[in-house]
Amino acid sequence: MAPREHRLNETIRRQLLESVTRDIRDLLPHLETRAEEYEEDARTELGKRADAEAKAMREILDLQQTHLVATMSAHDKSLQLLLDFNEDERRQKEHDRRYWETRLGEVHRERETEPERIPCPL
Residues 6+ apart with CB under 8 A from 104: 65, 68, 69, 72
Of the ranges 10-19, 41-50, 82-91, the best mean pLDDT one: 41-50
Would you say residue 36 lies in a domain?
Answer: yes
Cβ of 61: how many Cβ atoms within 10 Å?
Answer: 19
In a domain, 68, yes or no: yes
Rounded Cα–Cα distance for residues 70 and 28 (Å): 62
Asked whether residue 8 is assigned to any structural domain, the reply reads: no
Residue 64 lies inside a defined structural domain of this protein: yes
How many domains does the chain fold into?
A: 1
| 3-state SS class at 16 | helix
Quick check: is 109 in a domain?
Answer: yes
Residue 10 inside a domain? The answer is no
Mean pLDDT of 108-119: 88
Q: Is the pLDDT score of 52 beyond 90?
A: yes
The pTM of this model reads: 0.63
Asked if the structure places residue 12 within a domain, the reply is no
48 assigned to some structural domain:
yes
Q: Each residue of 14-40: pLDDT tens digit?
A: 888 889 989 999 999 999 999 999 999
Cβ(75)–Cβ(97) below 8 Å: yes
Segments forming the whole domain that contains residue 63 = 29-117
